Amino acid sequence: MIKKYVLILVLLALVFSCKSLANFESEYQGHELTKPIDIAKLKIAIRMSLINYNWNILSESEGKFLAKYEKSHGTINATIQVNYSRDGYTIKYIDSKNLDADTDNMKIHPNFVRWINNLNKAISQSYYQATL
């Protein structure tokens, strides 16, 4: 009977010690936007979405934003680049810390995928609101 309980405890410990990682892409295609795309409005939508979702804009140049998201006083972070043009926008993974990123197998902590999905949705919604 004791062996059975020990085996159950060992199995539970293994299950809880395994980190579940999510698949991710090195570059996410932005939501499709109605053409022709107004570059000025898209740029504003991207900037507003980054700020609203607490991404710190590190740099901005023609056609791109470099931004960083931090949790736990910076011990967890992700850096992305948002590229935009008349064809739309993309969100590119640049680097991260403490998100268990495995760029060979394209695995990362699921929070990163959620952050990107939220940002992607916010950009397209902000853009459509700006064009109404």
The predicted-structure confidence for 79-111, as pLDDT tens digits, reads as follows 999 999 999 999 999 999 999 999 999 999 999
Query: In whole angstroms, what is the distance from residue 76 CA to residue 12 CA?
Result: 27
> What is the band of 131 on the pLDDT scale with cuts at 50, 70, 90?
confident
Across 17-40, average pLDDT: 89
- The sign of the CA dihedral 76, 99, 50, 59 is positive
Q: What is the mean pLDDT of residues 34-54?
A: 96
For 26, phi and psi rounded to 5 degrees? Answer: -70, -25
Residue 19: the pLDDT is 62
Contact present, 116 and 125 (Cβ < 8 Å): no
Give the residue carrying structure tokens 């804009």.
Answer: 57
User: CATH topology for 22-131?
Assistant: TATA-Binding Protein (3.30.310)
